Structure 1
Amino acid sequence: MYRYFLGAALLLSAAARAQTAPTASVLTQADKLTTAQQYEAAYALLDKADPQNQQPDVVLAKEKLLLSYYLISVNYKSFGLKNLQPGETVAQLRGQKGPYSMHLLDIPKELKRLQQKSPQNYALSKGLGDYYYQAQQCHCGERDKTDAQLLALVLRYYGSAHAHGVGDFMSYYAVGYALLMQKKPEPSLAAFEQSIALNAEYPTSHYNLAFAQAQLGRWADATPHAQAAYRLYPDPELKADAARLLGHLYLQQKQPAEAKVALQQSLDLQPRSYASLLQLLQLAVAERSPTAPELATRLYQLDPADDQMFVDIMDTFQAANQWTEAEAVFRSQLPTAPKTPAAQGLLHFYLAILNMQLQRPKEARPHFLTAQTQLRKVAKPDNPMFELIEKGLKETRP
């Protein structure tokens, strides 16, 4: 009897080796095709090796290929692939019409089915986490679920995988991201830190770790990670965001010189960044820098019909008790301000307010009158600005 069971064990081991070797070979070949951007060929190879989706490693390879390199998708269940030509990229083609081969794979259904057969295979849990994270990010599948529900599924499946030692830098990053979205910055720190430990060159883990620490008021801890994100991001827009975050961190640490450098770096990358211009203006006004009028003008010119812009500029100069300087900035825009009712009405309205603050009722009155005429064309009668205009006209009546 003993020999019978030993023989059976040996036969099972041999059978397992016979299955594993071909599977490993197929996965290796598929990886080579993927590296060569032959995505359709890679998927065809995987599907031929496991057409019924019975082998977890092959199904997970299919999932990775589809989610990473699809060009179009239908409900995140059917995916279009293509063998790319030299010079073509997925980023360029995604969402564009084209002759793509479509592949139907209900990823969560297949992975959950395999989980029932292999409950100890936690790579399947990670695969489910990968799927729900990507679905939440692209908003192109699982339309019956809210963002909150998708994030809960991300945490559930990645949590199971991580608890059993299965994970990578992106899965830990996704956990941190999900916790941040749930307004839980404190527990997100460990996930981002683990992501960085696994891949210190991924800038978004550094950025979000800095962001989480900033939410907790840990400015000094956040600073080196914001610096790393700025250094590592190749994309100018993302690099600008990191520089702006770094500027904010320096401001919180009472380091205006360092903040100015970081914010200027952000502005150089994003010349029309409202946030960077406003923070640089606040620094310049506080220092009584001669660059303040230029910065205020650049902020104004982003959208001369934006009421919030006028408020922000006024608040900035008011904080430094520089009413005359604020009035001069707005007055300098009169010759070139757009002739639209909103732009003209707002500019004259705030010039009237500033002149009243400076106790110049005579100068304020014509601005109130012009503001009233122009704003009546675009604002509702119950707009609070009309009450202030009426009050100003009464107080400035000759």
Structure 2
Amino acid sequence: MQQQFRVILITLIITSFIGIPSVLKAQSNIDSLLEQGQYLTAFEQLNECSQLSSVDCILKKVDLALNYYLNSYYHRAFSFIDLRPGEDLEQLRNEKAFGATPIAFQIDSTLLELQEKFPEDSRITKALGDFYNRIYQDFGERWGLSAEQLLEKSNNYYQEAYSNGVYDYYSLYVLGYYQSLFQNYFEAQNWFLRSLKLRPNEPLTNYSLAVTYLFDGLPQKGVEHATRAFHSYNDSLNKSDAARISGILLLKTNRTQEALSFFQKADSLHAHYRPTLLYLVVASLQLGNDSLIIENGSKALNSDLYAPQVAEELNSLFTKEEKQALLHIIYKRALQDNVNDMEACGNIHFHYGKLLFTEGQKQKAKRMIKKSRENFHVIFDDSHQVFEAIEQTLRHMKEAR
């Protein structure tokens, strides 16, 4: 009996070790096909896969489907292609090229069925979190569930996987992002910090952590992460956002000259963006450099001469710092430079009048508002809503006497 048991045991051991090379070979073959851009062939082989375990095989299929498709139909069906030399998958996607006949692959139901068979394998749980997060990112509510439902599903699966020791830097980031949506900044910061332990220079995580520190009233902690995000981003738009957040945090810590430098960087990367231009004005006002104040104030105003929000914000900022005289210069120059643009002149006269009124120059203010009305009458008919705003302002000035 003992001899028979030994034979069975030895046979099992030998069989298991014989199987390992074949599994590794199958895995290596799939990876090789992906490296060569043979995505259709790789998916077909995974469909016929018998050497990999069912969990490994399906998780690999999910990864391939979500990351290497040519066309996706709400991530419920996918078409693939074997790239030819010189072809690029992303370029073909942008050109809306067509691959093989779409293959139906209901990832969520497939993973849920797999989870029922292998409830102890938390890789499946994390894959479900990945899937619902990807749906949220790519389709949102167009997929059939609300954004809130998708985020909640993703968060719950990631939480469960984490509790069983399965996570990566991105799942930890998403857990932090979810908490930040509910203004649970302390919890969000803890998740982001865990994520950064795995990938310290990840720009999105550093940026998000910096923002939570800003909202949580801890700007001194946020500066390091905002500047790290700035140095880590490669694309100009995200780099500009990180520079602006760096500047805001530096302003909050009274490092105004450094803040100005970051706002200038942000503007050079993404020109004419209103929030950046207004922060340039704020930093200039705090530094008390009159020429810089006029330069950046003019730049902000000229970025959109027709937008009332810009002039309203300038009135507020300059009044707060008691620098209205410099804003007079900015408005006068803008009127001279745009003398033939009636809409621009109308907008400037209107807000110049409101500024004068706050300074107690009521008669000048009234004349300026009436000049605004004359400008707008050149281009708008009497039914335009701007005239109602002008009349309301004049009535307010009259009542305030």
Partners of 1:210 and 1:151 lie apart in 2 by: 22
Give the TM-score normalised by the residue count of structure 2: 0.88
RMSD (Å) for aligned C-alpha atoms: 3.0
Residues 27-80 of structure 1: per-residue CA shift (max 9 Å, x gap): 2222222223332332233223269x9711111111112212333311211123
Residues 87-108 of structure 1: per-residue CA shift (max 9 Å, x gap): 6544434354212223321111
State the 1:15 CA deviation.
5.7
Partners of 2:285 and 2:167 lie apart in 1 by: 49
Indicate whether 1:126 and 2:126 are aligned: yes
Residues 112-145 of structure 1: per-residue CA shift (max 9 Å, x gap): 1011111111110111111011111112677221
Structure 2 CA distance for partners of 1:215 and 1:351, relative to 1, 3 Å: closer
Aligned twin of 1:100: 99
Aligned twin of 1:174: 174
Map 1:1-398 to 2 at 5 A.
21-49=21-49, 55-85=54-84, 88-94=87-93, 96-101=95-100, 102-139=102-139, 143-289=143-289, 290-337=291-338, 342-360=343-361, 363-373=364-374, 374=376, 377=381, 379-380=384-385, 383-392=388-397
SS in 2 for 1:333: helix
Structure 2 CA distance for partners of 1:156 and 1:20, relative to 1, 3 Å: farther
Partners of 1:369 and 1:220 lie apart in 2 by: 48
Return 267-276 or 109-118, whichever deviates more: 267-276
Structure 2 CA distance for partners of 1:204 and 1:280, relative to 1, 3 Å: same
Partners of 1:16 and 1:149 lie apart in 2 by: 43
State the 1:278 CA deviation.
0.8
State the 1:369 CA deviation.
2.0
State the 1:85 CA deviation.
4.8
Partners of 1:84 and 1:302 lie apart in 2 by: 45
Partners of 1:87 and 1:318 lie apart in 2 by: 60
Return 373-382 or 30-39, whichever deviates more: 373-382
State the 1:301 CA deviation.
2.1
Q: Which runs of 5+ in 1 are unaligned?
A: none
- Aligned residues with identical type, % of pairs: 23
Structure 2 CA distance for partners of 1:66 and 1:366, relative to 1, 3 Å: same
SS in 2 for 1:79: strand
Return 323-332 or 146-155, whichever deviates more: 323-332
Partners of 2:198 and 2:114 lie apart in 1 by: 28
8 Å Cα contact 1:111-1:124 kept in structure 2: yes
Return 276-285 or 336-345, whichever deviates more: 336-345
Structure 2 CA distance for partners of 1:254 and 1:381, relative to 1, 3 Å: closer
8 Å Cα contact 2:70-2:98 kept in structure 1: no
Structure 2 CA distance for partners of 1:368 and 1:57, relative to 1, 3 Å: same
State the 1:22 CA deviation.
3.4
Partners of 2:344 and 2:328 lie apart in 1 by: 16
Higher helix proportion (structure 1 or 2): 2
Give the TM-score normalised by the residue count of structure 1: 0.88
Structure 2 CA distance for partners of 1:201 and 1:65, relative to 1, 3 Å: farther
Residues 2-31 of structure 1: per-residue CA shift (max 9 Å, x gap): 766666666666665566543432222222
State the 1:178 CA deviation.
2.0
Structure 2 CA distance for partners of 1:340 and 1:61, relative to 1, 3 Å: farther
Residues 294-335 of structure 1: per-residue CA shift (max 9 Å, x gap): 211221222212111111111111011122221221221113
Partners of 2:345 and 2:50 lie apart in 1 by: 68
Structure 2 CA distance for partners of 1:266 and 1:380, relative to 1, 3 Å: same
Q: Which runs of 5+ in 2 are unaligned?
A: none
Amino acid at match of 1:267: D
State the 1:177 CA deviation.
1.7
SS in 1 for 2:385: coil
